[in-house]
């Protein structure tokens, strides 16, 4: 990711994690891990899940007594910068399929919600993914370059048809909250599957 953009995100996270925002952070963390399942510091995906929480808190979470996200509040108070503002407000949170590398050896994703394909920046760090893997994640676009943010949630391949079937009933509904609710539900089911690894994923990934 561009160093300037990375610095801006880190600065915003610091600002909205302390002082008068500390209790907001605690409330958000309780909410997030209630929705997605608990994590513990000895879990192999602990760092990734904490990254997921941090980005959810910054880019998607709206406190109960507020009307905007932390990042929008930060931009309003900091003052506008069109390119940075568009990038920070345009972070894409979705369900993606990894399509492998294109002819220019650049990693390519497909947003399963919109069917849009995105080519990641040539500077994108290598990802431990194989073609057709699918995952919940976020990417940011800055100065024409797309970078996947740390903390994505890889989903078990055997339940892909079940997720697609559920997704088909939601497509066409332009409801951002509904989309986020679905993605967090998938994270919860992934956490549940990890806790009960002896049970077939298809028995746990239910949407009734």
Q: Is residue 30 a contact partner of residue 184, using CB atoms and an 8 Å limit?
A: no
CA dist., res. 94 & res. 207, Å (int):
18
What pLDDT score was predicted for residue 171? Answer: 66
pLDDT for residue 6 is more than 70: yes
Which string of b and e fits 40-52 if b means at least 16 CB within 10 Å? Answer: eeeeebeebbbbb
Q: Is residue 135 a contact partner of residue 152, using CB atoms and an 8 Å limit?
A: yes
If you average pLDDT over residues 11-17, what whole number do you get?
Answer: 95
% of the chain at pLDDT higher than 70? 97
Mean per-residue pLDDT of the chain: 91
CA dist., res. 31 & res. 64, Å (int):
11
What pLDDT score was predicted for residue 22? Answer: 97
If you average pLDDT over residues 75-103, what whole number do you get?
Answer: 88
What pLDDT score was predicted for residue 172? Answer: 63
What's the predicted TM-score (pTM) here? Answer: 0.93
Q: Kindly report, residue by residue over 105-141, the tens digit of the pLDDT.
A: 999 999 998 899 999 999 888 888 999 999 999 999 9
The residue behind tokens 């800055």 is 142
What pLDDT score was predicted for residue 87? Answer: 92
If you average pLDDT over residues 92-103, what whole number do you get?
Answer: 95
Q: Kindly report, residue by residue over 154-204, the tens digit of the pLDDT.
A: 999 999 999 988 888 876 666 778 889 999 999 999 999 998 878 899 999
Q: Kindly report, residue by residue over 61-75, the tens digit of the pLDDT.
A: 999 988 999 999 998
* Confidence class for position 36, pLDDT limits 50, 70, 90: very high
CA dist., res. 32 & res. 56, Å (int):
8
């Amino acid at each position: 990711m561009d160093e300037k953009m990375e610095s801006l995100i880190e600065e915003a996270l610091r600002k909205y994690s302390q002082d008068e925002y500390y209790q907001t952070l605690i409330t958000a963390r309780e909410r997030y891990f209630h929705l997605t399942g608990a994590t513990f510091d000895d879990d192999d995906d602990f760092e990734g899940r904490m990254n997921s929480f941090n980005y959810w808190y910054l880019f998607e979470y709206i406190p109960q007594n507020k009307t905007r996200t932390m990042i929008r509040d930060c931009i309003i108070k900091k003052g506008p910068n069109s390119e940075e503002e568009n990038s920070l407000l345009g972070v894409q949170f979705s369900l993606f399929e990894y399509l492998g590398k294109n002819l220019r050896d650049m990693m390519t994703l497909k947003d399963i919600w919109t069917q849009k394909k995105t080519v990641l920046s040539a500077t994108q760090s290598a990802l431990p993914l194989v073609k057709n893997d699918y995952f919940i994640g976020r990417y940011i676009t800055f100065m024409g370059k797309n970078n996947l943010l740390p903390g994505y949630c890889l989903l078990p391949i055997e339940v892909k048809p079940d997720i697609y079937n559920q997704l088909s009933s939601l497509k066409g509904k332009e409801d951002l909250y509904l989309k986020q609710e679905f993605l967090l539900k998938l994270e919860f089911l992934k956490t549940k599957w990890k806790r009960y690894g002896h049970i077939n994923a298809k028995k746990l990934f239910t949407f009734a």
